[in-house]
Structure 1
Amino acid sequence: MTRHIAIYVRVSSKKQDTKSQEPDLKQWATAFADDIPVKWYRDQQSGKTMNRPGWNRLETAVDAGRVSTVVVWRLDRLGRTASGLTALFDKLVGRSINLVSIKDGVDLSTPAGRLIANVLASVAAYENEVRAERIIAGQSVAKANGKRWGGSKPGRQLKVADEQIAIIHRMCREGASKSAMARATGLSRPTVYAVLEKNE
């Protein structure tokens, strides 16, 4: 059976694209794939779960022994839970399948690479928890300001606190959806759009 190199790309939502990831992955494939076939797997879904269509197809290929190496741009593209990532690392090592993370400099074929991979998995999980805490903090700020923006009359000038603006822009940079920004700040989605458009 001919095994292939599996290149996996993921973004968190359908409003995002993989353009930032693909150049480095294509360059890696050109430099290291040699004559080994390369197959791309893609997802537009949150990394909080490993149950994703593209990833499920890749994992089926792994289980069938059709994959020699899994290549990702960064480990957080695989997922954001430490338990899910460490279980994946163990599975790949047990099947003699290498994992390469370009930006993290991870290569599971070496003991140092396996150590780094597990440390970074914990970091990814930590960042996910911190992000959730920031969202909750944003909601608290909105409530503390006593402001409600839902159902306002058309044309009404809405006052948005500096803290809310900062949260919106930070979440935008992190790739969060407009709905998530609205929930985090207590603002309506039209107001979120207005804040982003005003500061473009």
Structure 2
Amino acid sequence: MKIGYARVSTKDQNLEMQIEALGRNGCTKIFQETKSAVKERPELEKMLEHTREGDVVVVWKLDRLGRSLKHLIDMVSGFRDKGVEFISLNDRIDTTTVQGRLTFNIFASFAEFERELIRE
């Protein structure tokens, strides 16, 4: 099952564009959030509880899901541990493909490198 997650930061912003794109890409369930990424996100928590092995989480853009690159990598790694794949439509990342996994792993390597530099 393809599960969508759409988020805007304020109530003044509109989710419609994201919801339409997720629907066009086969999402049968879409969790909608109107909260800043730094606060609690109850719809994200519901989505995480809802996902099962074989599902695919789809977002319109990477920044709709993660607060930072590290947070995003941790989330997608958690998906992988559950047997859940990930697609970011605008960033053209699709972990159901070899190229998508490579792209995401490159991002993860850069984030790890950044953390190690900071630690030094």
TM-score category, normalised to shorter length: 0.7 to 0.9
SS of the residue aligned with 1:13? Answer: coil
2:95 corresponds, among 84, 97, 108, to: 108
Letter aligned with residue 10 of structure 2? S
Pick aligned residue for 1:73 from 50, 60, 63: 60
Report the CA distance between 1:66 and its aligned residue: 6.7
Instruction: Supply the RMSD in Å over aligned alpha carbons.
Output: 2.4
Structure showing greater radius of gyration is 1
Identity among equivalent pairs (%):
28
**Which residue in 1 is equivalent to 2:14?**
17
CA–CA distance in structure 2, aligned partners of residues 103 and 110 of structure 1: 16
Note the alpha carbon deviations across 1:12-59, whole angstroms, 9 max, x for none: 011111122222222111xxx6xxxx111011111235x301101001
Q: Normalising to structure 2: TM-score of the pair?
A: 0.77
TM-score (norm. length: structure 1) = 0.48
Mapped to 1, the partners of 2:77 and 2:5 lie a distance apart of 18
Q: Which has the higher strand share?
A: 2
Is the CA contact 1:48–1:79 (under 8 Å) kept in the aligned structure 2? no
Equivalent residue for 2:33, pick from 43, 66, 75: 43
| Structure 1: gaps (5+ residues) | 124-200
Change (3 A) 1:66 1:13: farther
Whether 1:55 aligns to 2:38 is no
Preserved CA contact (<8 Å) 1:5 1:67: no
The gaps in structure 2 that reach 5 residues or longer are 112-120
